[in-house]
């Protein structure tokens, strides 16, 4: 009998894929000795067991091969079921083996799986459940250990250092095996040039500066943003200058008080398609509530701001001389870059602008439009939206508020996202059959 071998190894940084493949293949060969030989291999490297077969390259290739009458093998053998199956994957995959007449051999049943045997089905379900429990148990152990290391030791757990700090050597690695290989542990040390910028940001905030105003002041003084200051550790960022979000992230980071903080973000698994559970889950990063953050009770590295100034910065609001109303705040986006346009008061009236330079050098570096120019066409845009929602409606019978404030309220209630095109001089909103566009005359 001709067999195909199926195996998997996930964390290739902590396991040796070559050694893992060898011992799994050895178990598979020991099982089929005297019954046949292995003529094909399917071995996934770097994919978690929680990932569905359809999203593992080699496992997906095996599923495709099952449908081919000229596949070249009559059965599939695995070295360890926990490596291949997870949670409900056996129940989802095994019917395909049965349908295409391909046997599945497993060491734990000392041969092929009998589709009519309740005992075999129960055994495989138990191993798949054990696989899930093992993964969850490892997650709990690692998480508990990291919480204890932060709370009891204030240990730096890795990652990019916050702006204002750099990594410094802290001696041999805690793990004796890693230390014997020359691995070192790290701690946070001050980066003098960047630390002074962080102090300035907190001082400006306490003085009543808003985040956008702080970003503009830093750009005006030619101070490199974090990604430009350390491009080697920020290759995923553009280094195009200070952004409001960057300033807010610095102001909200309690590590600047000298305390080590962990668990600000965590990974969650969500279904890829709620209507097709067989596709499995994908991993996303989310921000945890502040109550779930883990902090060391004492200072673990040099502080840039003291705790009092940090708390004051959290509760200080930007000082504005007069109250200015922007009716389209949060509703208007720039068609060139897709970002929300910000309010800008000029000549005693509200305007909107986008200062993000477009990728195309021929396009303008900024976009600017008066609010009253947009509001004068808002009623016509709402009529078009109502007509598309109710094709049989007569335009003259459509009730649109005359007050522009009420028209804006209608836009918010309908969940409309307005887009201003600076080049075409149009105001648009997404519709069912394409964009609804009003030309500004």
Highest mean pLDDT among 3-17, 22-36, 227-241, 326-340: 22-36
Name the nearest CA neighbour of 250 among 194, 291, 168, 298.
Answer: 194
Specify the pLDDT at position 88: 87
In angstroms, what CA-CA distances link 191 with 282, 304, 311?
37, 10, 23
Residue 2: band (very low, low, confident or very high) from pLDDT cuts 50, 70, 90? very high
Residue bearing tokens 């071998």: 5
Domain boundaries, the chain: 2-135, 192-315, 332-439
Question: Could you tell me how many residues make up the chain?
Answer: 441
The rounded mean pLDDT for the chain is: 86
Q: Which CATH number fits domain 2-135: 2.40.50.140, 3.40.50.1820, 3.40.50.300, 3.40.50.1390?
A: 3.40.50.1390
Banded model confidence at residue 11, pLDDT cuts 50, 70, 90: low
Q: What fold, for 192-315?
A: Hect, E3 ligase catalytic domain fold (3.90.1750)
Q: Which residues in 167-190 are b (16+ Cβ under 10 Å) and which e?
A: beeeeebeeeeeeeeeeebbbbbb
Quick check: pTM over 0.75? no
**DSSP calls for 192-216:** HHHHHHHHHHHHHHHTT--HHHHHH
- Would you state the structure tokens that stand for residue 384, as one six-digit string? 């078009």
Instruction: Tell me the C-alpha distance between 119 and 237, whole Å.
Output: 55
Which residues partner with 269 through β-bridges? 283
């Amino acid at each position: 009998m001709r067999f195909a071998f199926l195996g998997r190894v996930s964390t290739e940084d902590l396991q040796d894929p070559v050694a893992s493949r060898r011992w799994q293949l050895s178990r598979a060969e020991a099982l089929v000795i005297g019954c046949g030989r292995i003529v094909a291999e399917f071995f996934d490297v770097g994919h978690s067991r929680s990932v569905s077969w359809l999203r593992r390259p080699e496992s997906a290739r095996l599923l495709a091969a099952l449908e081919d009458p000229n596949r070249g093998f009559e059965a599939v053998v695995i070295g360890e079921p926990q490596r291949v199956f997870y949670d409900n994957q056996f129940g989802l995959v095994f019917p395909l083996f049965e349908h295409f007449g391909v046997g599945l051999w497993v060491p734990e049943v000392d041969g092929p799986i009998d589709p009519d045997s309740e005992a075999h089905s129960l055994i495989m379900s138990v191993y798949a459940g054990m696989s899930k429990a093992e993964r969850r148990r490892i997650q709990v152990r690692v998480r508990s250990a990291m919480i204890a290391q932060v709370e009891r030791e204030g240990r730096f757990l890795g990652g990019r250092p916050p702006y204002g700090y750099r990594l410094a050597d802290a001696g041999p690695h805690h793990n004796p095996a890693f230390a014997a290989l020359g691995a070192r542990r790290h701690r946070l040390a001050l980066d003098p040039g960047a630390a002074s910028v962080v102090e300035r940001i907190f001082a400006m905030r306490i003085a009543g500066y808003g985040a956008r105003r702080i970003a503009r002041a830093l750009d005006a003084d030619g101070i490199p943003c974090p990604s430009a200051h350390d491009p080697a550790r920020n290759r995923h960022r553009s280094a195009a200058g200070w952004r409001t979000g960057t300033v807010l992230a610095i102001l909200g980071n309690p590590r600047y008080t000298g305390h080590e903080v962990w668990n600000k973000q965590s990974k969650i698994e969500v279904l890829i398609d709620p209507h097709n559970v067989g596709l499995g889950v994908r991993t996303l990063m989310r921000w945890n509530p502040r109550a779930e953050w883990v902090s060391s009770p004492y200072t673990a590295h040099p502080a840039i701001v003291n705790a009092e100034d940090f708390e004051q910065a959290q509760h200080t609001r930007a000082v504005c001389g007069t109250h200015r109303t922007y009716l389209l705040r949060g509703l208007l986006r720039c068609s060139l870059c897709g970002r929300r346009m910000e309010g800008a008061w000029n000549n005693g009236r509200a305007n909107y602008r986008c200062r993000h330079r477009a990728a195309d050098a021929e396009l303008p570096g900024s976009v600017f439009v008066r609010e009253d120019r947009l509001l004068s066409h808002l009623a016509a845009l709402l009529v078009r939206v109502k007509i598309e929602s109710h094709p049989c409606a007569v335009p003259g019978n459509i009730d649109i508020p005359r007050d522009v404030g009420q028209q804006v309220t209608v836009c918010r209630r309908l969940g409309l996202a307005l887009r201003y095109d600076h080049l075409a001089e149009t105001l648009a909103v997404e519709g069912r059959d394409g964009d609804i566009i009003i030309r500004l005359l």
